[in-house]
Structure 1
Amino acid sequence: MELNLKGKVAIVTGGSKGIGKGIATALLKEGAIVVITARNADELEDTAAMFRLQGNEVLAVVADMAKEADLQHLVTTTIQQYGHIDILVNNAGGIDTFGPLETITMDQWRRIFEVNFFGQVALTNLVIPHLKKQGGGRIINISSENAEQPDPNMGHYNATKAALNNYSKTLSQNYGKDNILVNTVSPAFIKTPLVDDMLEGISKEKGISIVDAAKQFLKENRPYQVLGRVGLPEETGGIVAFLASDHAAFITGAVFRVDGGSVGTV
């Protein structure tokens, strides 16, 4: 299936590694021009240089999702460089603290909402006028299984992803008339630096291979994940590229899981 994204300009936040890098890879393979952004300048430029060596057109813009001035710079730079924006992929986010709810401080709650939710809202607000001006576009928000199947030791993270799902649906209702289609992709147990570190820790602690560590984790923590392996970032990228294409022109307000069956409900 040809997705025909040639010449489309896509912004991918958190695009230097992990799922964001996989999404950028998938969009580039379909001919899109991709603007990747992240906080770490060295990692971002390394990824951009790799993509350019492969013959792709990539722009790297350093930005912190918690800083509105950075987000304004990102949008302004993209428009100055290419004249338009067609696709926004709100992928940036993460978690750096774990534990029962009573151990999560209010500062940690505020920080994770700034990075995982408010930043996405702020960037979307900046991009929507450009999408409306050109007659439409795509917004694809990257959520998580945690929005629907909360992890008891990730309560603040769960809440940000549940908010993002609800926000995505509301966006789709507000801007469908403008031909701006908004969908959510919810990956889980994807090969990212965070998952790699976790599995390496289990491997060392138990004296088992990384593959066996993954199987053990899934058996103990994700019993509905029937595929029994770690997902690849490009497997999330594939559905994002499809949703960005004209083949998805009648899809909006939906959530697409890329989780190997991990969520235990329909």
Structure 2
Amino acid sequence: MDLNIKGKTALVTGGDSGLGIETAKFLAREGVNVVLSDKANGKELRDAVKQVEKDAQDGAKVMGIAADISKNQEVLDLAKKIEAEFGGAHIIFHSAGARGAAGDFLELTDDDWMKTIDIDLMGAVRVARAFIPQMQKLKWGRMVLVASENAFQPYEEESPYNACKAGIINLSKCLSRAYSKENLLFNCISPAYIETPMTDAMMETLAKEKDISVEEAVEWFAKNKRPHIAMERRGKPEEVAAVVAFLCSEHASFVNGSNVRIDGGAVESAFG
């Protein structure tokens, strides 16, 4: 399917792995210029750029720019660099984030909460604030934020993350109401148990705790912690990327303020 976004420019935060890099590849195949951004300008980001370049079609350019979303000035500098290079970003896929502090609610400190909020909620606020003016200037825009199944079906050991992801859904809806008349569309996705570095780290920790292999930990977690996933497996990043790419396309021109669950059925409720 031609997504009719050839020649547009996209920023993908958290772009050196997981959902970010797979979505970047999908967009590059559609002829979209892609800027991959992550916290550090290290080997991972440089390698990600090379991988996405292999998928680029129709003259699409790919570049990497480091930016820490917990630092407002770095986000503003990122926006300036993209505007200077491409005239601005039409598409924003904000996938940067972290699990943050986890554990017993009564043992989590204010600092634990604030560090998680600063990345998972305020990071999205900073990115939206920096790039909405560019989309306004271009008179066309798509922004997709990453929420989570945790927003609907919270897990007790991840209370800061749960709260932040619920906030992401509310933020997306707020932005959609504020700017849709300017041809700017805002949506979010709620993935669950996807093969990403974050869940990889969770499974490695679980494997050590239970003295089992990582593969056994993946199976145990799916059966005991995500029993409603009918496929009994983790989702693949490319399965998420396909949905994100659609939301960034001309074909999604009447999808606005929505949250799309990509969870294999992990959320038990039909109406969450």
Q: Which TM-score tier does this pair reach, normalised by the shorter chain?
A: over 0.9
RMSD: 1.6
> Structure 1 residue 138 and structure 2 residue 139: aligned?
no
Structure 1's consecutive aligned runs of 4 or more residues displaced over 3 angstroms after TM superposition are 53-56, 200-209
* Whole-Å separation in 1 of the counterparts to 2:103 and 2:205: 17
> Structure 1 residue 13 and structure 2 residue 17: aligned?
no
Q: Which amino acid aligns with 2:268?
A: G
CA deviations over 1:187-213 (Å, ceiling 9, x no partner):
110101222233344456454561x43
CA deviations over 1:125-154 (Å, ceiling 9, x no partner):
111111112212101111111111111000
Instruction: Tell me which moved more, 247-256 or 131-140.
Output: 131-140
Structure-2 change in CA distance of 1:54 and 1:244 (3 Å): closer
* Whole-Å separation in 2 of the counterparts to 1:120 and 1:64: 12
CA apart distance, 1:175:
0.7
Partner SS state of residue 238, structure 2: helix
CA apart distance, 1:54:
4.6
* Whole-Å separation in 2 of the counterparts to 1:177 and 1:14: 29
Instruction: Tell me which moved more, 156-165 or 47-56.
Output: 47-56
CA deviations over 1:246-265 (Å, ceiling 9, x no partner):
11001101110111110111
Residue of 142, 153, 159 corresponding to 2:163: 159
Partner of 2:91: 87
* Whole-Å separation in 1 of the counterparts to 2:171 and 2:98: 18
Partner of 1:48: 49
Structure-2 change in CA distance of 1:53 and 1:25 (3 Å): closer
Structure-2 change in CA distance of 1:203 and 1:110 (3 Å): closer
Are the equivalent residues in 2 in contact too, given 1:4–1:31 (CA < 8 A)?
no
CA apart distance, 1:95:
1.9
Partner SS state of residue 264, structure 1: coil
Structure-2 change in CA distance of 1:206 and 1:143 (3 Å): same
| Long gaps (5+) in structure 2 | none
Residue of 44, 68, 84 corresponding to 1:64: 68
> Structure 1 residue 227 and structure 2 residue 225: aligned?
no
Partner of 1:74: 78
CA deviations over 1:144-192 (Å, ceiling 9, x no partner):
1111111100000111100110010011011111111111111110101
Structure-2 change in CA distance of 1:107 and 1:202 (3 Å): closer
| Long gaps (5+) in structure 1 | none
Instruction: Give the number of aligned pairs.
Output: 265
Partner of 2:29: 29
> Structure 1 residue 173 and structure 2 residue 184: aligned?
no
Are the equivalent residues in 1 in contact too, given 2:91–2:248 (CA < 8 A)?
yes
> Structure 1 residue 127 and structure 2 residue 125: aligned?
no
Partner of 1:189: 193
* Whole-Å separation in 2 of the counterparts to 1:91 and 1:207: 30
CA apart distance, 1:11:
0.6
Structure-2 change in CA distance of 1:112 and 1:208 (3 Å): closer
CA apart distance, 1:28:
1.4
Are the equivalent residues in 2 in contact too, given 1:15–1:92 (CA < 8 A)?
yes
* Whole-Å separation in 2 of the counterparts to 1:128 and 1:96: 27
Q: Which amino acid aligns with 1:48?
A: V
Are the equivalent residues in 1 in contact too, given 2:121–2:168 (CA < 8 A)?
yes
Partner of 1:117: 121
| TM-score of the aligned structures, taking structure 1 as reference length | 0.94
* Whole-Å separation in 2 of the counterparts to 1:201 and 1:167: 32
Structure-2 change in CA distance of 1:66 and 1:260 (3 Å): same
CA deviations over 1:81-133 (Å, ceiling 9, x no partner):
01121101111111243101111111111111111111211221111111112
Partner of 1:38: 38
Partner of 2:112: 108
Partner of 1:236: 240
* Whole-Å separation in 2 of the counterparts to 1:45 and 1:83: 23
Are the equivalent residues in 2 in contact too, given 1:25–1:234 (CA < 8 A)?
no
